[in-house]
Structure 1
Amino acid sequence: MINLNQYRHVLTLAEERHFARAAERVHLSQPAFSRSIQAIEAQLGLRLFERQPGDVRPTPAGAFLVERARRLLFEARCLERDLALYLDHQLGDVAFGMGPMPNVTLGPKVVAEVRQAYPQIRMRLEISNWALLLERLQLEEIEFFVAEVRDLPQDAALQVEPLMRQAGRFYVRADHPLGPGEHRLAEVWPYGVGTTRLPAALKAVLGRLGSEDALAQPALECDDPRLLHQIGLSTDTVIATTELAVADLVQQGLLRALHLPELPVVHAEMGIVCLRHRTPSPMALKVIELFQRFALGAQDSGA
């Protein structure tokens, strides 16, 4: 019977494609690691890897076993974690991610609520765009993330739950040269546009309006909406952001939305993303519930 350590050896060799590197990762000598792989192949009566000088590749049988081993080891890690939480009667710590817009709209309220209600738990937050957060999720470094989800790859391993829509507009400082009244998009581009990474769907909308060249290379692109807002307040840069993200600045009369009749209503589609077959920790479930509660409250208030 093949044990979990042997499955781990097969998976590591498939990832490293090199016996010495794989042996180092699992803290074995190369001869001992090679004997482990040979023993597995002998037990199964299958050749799992093609050995070439400097390169090791799974055979079709090996690729089949690697995929099953990956899932088996994943479930084993989840079981170990859940049992530890059960035995300790603890909520456990939590690690999760937030995209740029959730970080400045829902994130502060969620994190403050957690710290107030559960001061004994530890949180680790990853703030980045969805692509980097997806990497962290797949590496199991975070349990879930909240971000724009329209550009996520179609992957059966992912579970995506819609959270909320955040309406997006273009904003300028109160005394911007583009005064009140209607404007055309062609008037906007010369001032430069600052934005977070735009979803492909929004780029397509702007492309149909003849604006794809300007948005393909925005004047300022970053994953920190607060920085974008500060640049909008201190320069003539036009900021593309969500209504919820700048609600306070608009209410204070510091930023104002541009009236662009040719631009259709656009939204950021926020969702909660986790691995489909991983059971969230008790604390992760509570944090997710907070995101859902605050998202619902923001929608009900019309913010």
Structure 2
Amino acid sequence: MDLRRLSHVVALADTLHFARAAEQVHLSQPAFSRSIQAVENDLGVRLFERDVGDIRPTPAGEFVLERARRLLFEARCMQRDVDLYLDNQLGDTAFGVGPFPAATLMPRVLSELRRLHPQVALRVEESNWVLLLERLRAEDIEFFVADVRDLPDDAALDIRPLPAQVARFFVRAGHPLAGASCTIKDAWAYGVAAVKAPRAVTAALTRALKLPAGQEAVLALECDDFAVIRAVTLSTDMVLGATEAAVEAQVASGELVPLEVEGLPTLHAGMGIVSLRNRTPSPMAMKAMRCIERVAGEIRGERQASPQSAG
């Protein structure tokens, strides 16, 4: 089986347009059409319906495409592994992080990796798990770190859980609710800002607020850039939902104050490291994952030993 021609089949399935697919694989349209016809002749099946203005895979095409994508993925993995073996180098790496690990883990992790491996180029993408999963499946990143509770049940994913980080509500110093106990409805009335919440957290807040059937808790401000929502909280009367580790510096300086909220369910960030099960990580990616695991464990230990956390 010619893998190059299989890649042409995948390109046509992705674009559903002969001219765009040909341009994508750097072929003339006649040469590209001949390549598709050659695959169909070799397999003895028609892979695409070619109605006027409408290109779509046949049922046989869908069957072949699933296996073609798998073969091309394995071929890329093998070539990459061989390159790493021959190079005998750590290699550059790219990975993704969700908002909370970006705020709590990455400062330590990236400082350590840069200090120990200054010759290696690192590319870190910050986003929510939905977009990071797309980047992982497209092989644009080697792994990502994020809250994994809403991830699909997919045998192709390898998930390494990290220690949970306790979360709660915080307000700026001088906020009307600061320094006194309040109810969850009192806090919610000021508007809660947070990163995208997992379904389990939204459900728990909905129950705690005793909302009518069919309604669910909606954040007043949802943003995947944690620095932004933290800054908004410091300059307004909004209430910030965050892990204790993410605002440790602001609480220590007195800028933010933890709220004592009656009826607030136990909240935490359930983070993990997500990679593709059948892909061999680069040596640098493996070092980065081990570093992340160690730093996450250290932060968990520090929070447990903190008198503020214990209180």
Aligned residues: 301
1:123 to partner: Cα distance: 0.5
* SS in structure 2 at match of 1:28: coil
1:138 to partner: Cα distance: 1.4
Partner of 1:114 in structure 2? 113
Instruction: Give, in whole Å, the separation in 1 of the partners of 2:210 and 2:268.
Output: 18
* SS in structure 1 at match of 2:245: coil
Partner of 1:76 in structure 2? 75
Aligned amino acid, residue 63 of structure 1: E
For residues 161-202 of structure 1, give each alpha carbon's deviation from its aligned partner in whole angstroms, at most 9, with x where no partner exists. 211211110001222111323211121123221111111111
Partner of 1:11 in structure 2? 10
* SS in structure 2 at match of 1:90: coil
Aligned amino acid, residue 127 of structure 1: E
Partner of 1:257 in structure 2? 258
Instruction: Give, in whole Å, the separation in 2 of the partners of 1:270 and 1:198.
Output: 12
- Greater mean alpha carbon deviation, residues 166-175 or residues 229-238: 229-238
Identity score, percent: 55
Partner of 1:56 in structure 2? 55
For residues 73-123 of structure 1, give each alpha carbon's deviation from its aligned partner in whole angstroms, at most 9, with x where no partner exists. 111111111211211110000100110000010011000000000000000
Give the conservation status (yes or no) of the 8 Å contact 2:178–2:257: no
Instruction: Give, in whole Å, the separation in 1 of the partners of 2:77 and 2:43.
Output: 27
- Greater mean alpha carbon deviation, residues 12-21 or residues 264-273: 12-21
Partner of 1:133 in structure 2? 132
1:211 to partner: Cα distance: 6.2
- Greater mean alpha carbon deviation, residues 42-51 or residues 283-292: 42-51
For residues 212-250 of structure 1, give each alpha carbon's deviation from its aligned partner in whole angstroms, at most 9, with x where no partner exists. 66842x332211222222222222111110011112222
Q: Kindly report the root-mean-square deviation, in angstroms, between the aligned alpha carbons of the 2 structures.
A: 1.5
For residues 22-42 of structure 1, give each alpha carbon's deviation from its aligned partner in whole angstroms, at most 9, with x where no partner exists. 111111111111111111111
Aligned amino acid, residue 167 of structure 1: V
* SS in structure 1 at match of 2:209: coil
Instruction: Give, in whole Å, the separation in 1 of the partners of 2:208 and 2:68.
Output: 49
Partner of 1:295 in structure 2? 296
Give the conservation status (yes or no) of the 8 Å contact 2:172–2:233: yes
- Greater mean alpha carbon deviation, residues 129-138 or residues 139-148: 129-138
1:296 to partner: Cα distance: 0.9
Partner of 2:65 in structure 1? 66
Partner of 1:239 in structure 2? 240
Partner of 1:199 in structure 2? 198
Instruction: Give, in whole Å, the separation in 2 of the partners of 1:82 and 1:54.
Output: 41
Instruction: Give, in whole Å, the separation in 2 of the partners of 1:149 and 1:215.
Output: 20
CA shift in 2, pair 1:194/1:211, >3 Å:
farther
For residues 245-265 of structure 1, give each alpha carbon's deviation from its aligned partner in whole angstroms, at most 9, with x where no partner exists. 112222222212111121121
Give the conservation status (yes or no) of the 8 Å contact 1:144–1:273: yes
Partner of 1:275 in structure 2? 276
1:54 to partner: Cα distance: 1.4
1:53 to partner: Cα distance: 1.3
Give the conservation status (yes or no) of the 8 Å contact 1:189–1:214: no
Segments of 5+ residues of structure 2 without an aligned counterpart are 305-311
Give the conservation status (yes or no) of the 8 Å contact 1:96–1:125: yes
Partner of 1:103 in structure 2? 102
Segments of 5+ residues of structure 1 without an aligned counterpart are none
- TM-score, with length taken from structure 2: 0.92
Partner of 2:34 in structure 1? 35
- TM-score, with length taken from structure 1: 0.95
Give the conservation status (yes or no) of the 8 Å contact 2:206–2:216: no
